[in-house]
Amino acid sequence: MLHLINKSPFESMSLEDCLKYANKGASILLYEDGIYAAMPGTAVSERMAGVTADYKVYALKEDMMLRGVDKVMDGVTEIDYAGFVGLVEESKTASW
C-alpha cells in the first residue's frame, strides 16, 4: 500500500492516523505540506527516524523545492512526479 500524506505534522494528525493502520514495510509519500515531516532538525525528527525504520518513506522533490526545503532527513528518499507515478504503479493508494 502507498499512503499519501499531504498535511504538516505540526497541524494535522493525518500521518499519525495513517501509521495506526499501515503495516510495517508499507510506503509513505510525503507531498504538499506533508514534506515538512521530513525536514531535518525539527520537533518531529526523532519520531520520523522511527517511522523511516519501519516504513519506506519518500518526499516529493517538486513540493520540497516550492517550499525552500532543500534536503530531507536520513532515511527519506526524494522522488519526483515520475517517481510518484512509479510508486502508484506498484501499489494501491490511500489519501489521508
65 binds other proteins (CB under 8 A): no
**Measured between alpha carbons, how far is 4 from 67 in angstroms, rounded to an integer?**
18
Cβ of 7: how many Cβ atoms within 10 Å? Answer: 17
Q: Which is nearer to other proteins, 36 or 84 (CB)?
A: 84
Among 17, 40, 65, 71, binds other proteins (CB under 8 A): 17
88 binds other proteins (CB under 8 A): yes
Question: Which range of residues in 26-34, 35-43, 50-58, 69-77 is near other proteins by CB under 8 A?
Answer: 26-34
Q: How many residues bind other proteins (CB under 8 A)?
A: 28
The contacts of residue 91 (CB under 8 Å, 6+ apart) are 1, 2, 27
Strand order in the sheet with 76-79: 76-79, 56-60, 27-30, 2-5, 93-95
Residues that bind other proteins (CB under 8 A): 1, 4, 6, 13, 17, 20-23, 26, 31-33, 62-63, 80-82, 84-86, 88-89, 92-96
